[in-house]
Amino acid sequence: MPAESFNRLLERQIAEARRRNGELDVASLLQIVSFHYDRLDEERRGVVRSMQIMSDEAQALTREIREQTSSHLQAILDNVKDAIVTVDGEGHIESFNPTGERIFGYSQAEILGRTLDFILPELIDCGARGFLDRLAIKIDDTHVDLAAHLAWGVSKDGTRVAVEIAVSKANLNRREGYIVCVRDITERHVAEQLMRESEARYRTLVEHAPEAIVVFDVDLGRFVDVNDNACRFFKMDRATLLSGGPGRISPPVQMDGTPSFGVQRGYIDGALAGATPVFEWTHCDADGRGLPCEVRFVRLPSSSRRLIRASITDITARKRAEAIAAGERRVFEKIAANAPLQAVLEAIAEVIERTLPGSFCAINLLDRERQTLNFGVATRLPREFIVAMDGVPVGPRLGSCAAAVESARPVLVADVGEDPVWECRREAALLAGLRAAWAAPIIASDGLVIGTFAVFRR
C-alpha cells in the first residue's frame, strides 16, 4: 500500500480512537488496527482458497484429457488392421496389440519379453537390432521411407504368414526403442501367386496354341501381344507385328471384292459387347501372299483397356477342299446334263486354276492317227504359246505333255530353262513366261492314252 494511502488510513483510525475530549484511546486504536489486519488476512485466505480450487480443477481436467487421449489411442491400437509391436533397443517385445494376437496366434502374456525373431525368423541371421535399424533409416524420400519390407512370419501353429513390415524409431519411456507395424498380406500374396500362375498357364497356352494369336488394343489401334505362331504365319518378327495393327496383315480388298477397312461389319463391336464373333477373313503375309483364315474374337478382361484376342486359323486347305468339291459338283452337273465335251473340260480346268492360284491349266487331246497333241482347253495360257504347242508331235524333248504321252506316266519339270524335256520347245515356253510344267497322261478304260492334263507356273 502506498505511504500516502497508508497515512490517510492511519489518520482515519486515530480519529476514530479519540475520545470526545480529544484524547487518544490507545486501546481502541489497537482494536481498530487489529480488526483491519484481520480483515486483510481473511481476504488473503479467500484468494488462496480460490487459487487452490482453480488448481484442483485444472489438474482434474488434465487427468481427464490424458485419460481420454489414452483411451482413444488404445481404441485405435486395438482396432487397427495392422499389428503394432513396440520393441526395446535390444529387440525385445514390450507391447503387442490385439491384431498382432490375431495374426500370430499368441496372447500378450505369451509374447511379451521375447525377441522379435520369435515371430519373424528371418531376423535370426542379421540380428533384430541391425534389421530394425536398417528399416528405420530415413532418407527424406517419402516414397522410400514409407515403403514396407516384405518378409515371412511364423504363427503359433507353425503356419508361414506373408507380411509387410514398416519400422520407426521412437522414445519409449525415455528409452530408445522401435515401433514395428506388421501387416498380414497372406491373402494378397496367394492371390498374386495364383495370378502369376494363371498368367504363366495363359502364356503357355498362347505360345503352344496351333493357331496364330494376336491381342488387339482397340483404342491404340495396334497389337499389344502376339504368339510365335503369328510371327511364323505372317513371316514378320514380333517387333514388326507389335508396331502395327490389322491393316499390316490384311490386303486392301477381301475375296468378296469389298474393302478390308471402312466397311461396318460389327465384329469388333460384337466382341466388345461380350459376343464371340467367328468369321472368315483374308490376311496376307510379309510377301503379300493371300492367306484365307478363320478368325475368332474374344474380349479380354481389363479394368482400363479394350483388348480383343484374335485367334487366326489358316483355312487354305479347307478352302481348297471346298473349291474342289464345288468344282466337282459343277463338272458332274455338266456331265449329267450331257453338256458338250468342251464345256466339261473348261469346268475341270477352272477347278484346278481356282485351287492352285497363279497356275495355268491345259487339257490336250491326242490325235492317235497323227500322234500329235491338240489343245482342248487352255483359257488362260498366252495365245503365242498355244499356237507354238498346238499339234506338237509325241516325243521326249517336245515338252512335258508330249513326254507324258511318250512315257505314259507323269512328267514334272521344275525348270523349263534347263530340263532336256523342253529342249525343242524351250523358247516358246520362256517367251510365255513359263518356268515350271507338270503333265500327266489321261488314260481311258481300255488302257490307252487319250490326252494329257497339264499345269504351268510362271
Sole residue written with cell 495370378: 195
Torsion of CA 427, 428, 429, 431, to 10 degrees: 80
Q: Is the CB of residue 399 less than 8 Å from the CB of residue 422?
A: yes
pLDDT of residue 250: 94
CA distance 287 to 298: 28
Superfamily of domain 358-457: GAF domain (3.30.450.40)
pLDDT over 90 at 275, yes or no = yes
Q: What does the pLDDT average to over 414-435?
A: 91
SS3 438: strand
Q: How confident is the model at residue 133 (pLDDT cuts 50, 70, 90)?
A: confident
Angle at 349 between CA 347 and CA 353, to 5 degrees: 120
pLDDT of residue 77: 55
pLDDT over 50 at 125, yes or no = yes
Tens-place pLDDT, residues 67-76 = 555 565 555 5
**Higher-pLDDT residue of 135, 362:** 362
Q: How confident is the model at residue 84 (pLDDT cuts 50, 70, 90)?
A: confident
For domain 80-189, the CATH class is alpha beta
Q: What does the pLDDT average to over 60-71?
A: 59
pLDDT over 70 at 64, yes or no = no
At 386, the amino acid letter reads I
| Average pLDDT of the chain, as a whole number | 82
pLDDT of residue 69: 55
Q: Is there a common fold for 209-314 and 358-457?
A: yes
Q: How confident is the model at residue 145 (pLDDT cuts 50, 70, 90)?
A: very low
**Domain coordinates in residue numbering, the chain:** 3-73, 80-189, 209-314, 358-457
Kindly state the helix (H) or strand (E) to which residue 411 belongs, with its residue range: strand 411-413
Q: How confident is the model at residue 82 (pLDDT cuts 50, 70, 90)?
A: confident
Tens-place pLDDT, residues 335-352 = 888 888 888 888 888 888
Q: What does the pLDDT average to over 258-263?
A: 90
Q: What does the pLDDT average to over 198-208?
A: 62
For domain 209-314, the CATH class is alpha beta
Q: How confident is the model at residue 3 (pLDDT cuts 50, 70, 90)?
A: very low
CA distance 436 to 452: 16
pLDDT over 60 at 160, yes or no = yes
pLDDT over 80 at 78, yes or no = no
Kindly state the helix (H) or strand (E) to which residue 352 belongs, with its residue range: helix 341-355
pLDDT of residue 76: 58
CA distance 216 to 299: 9
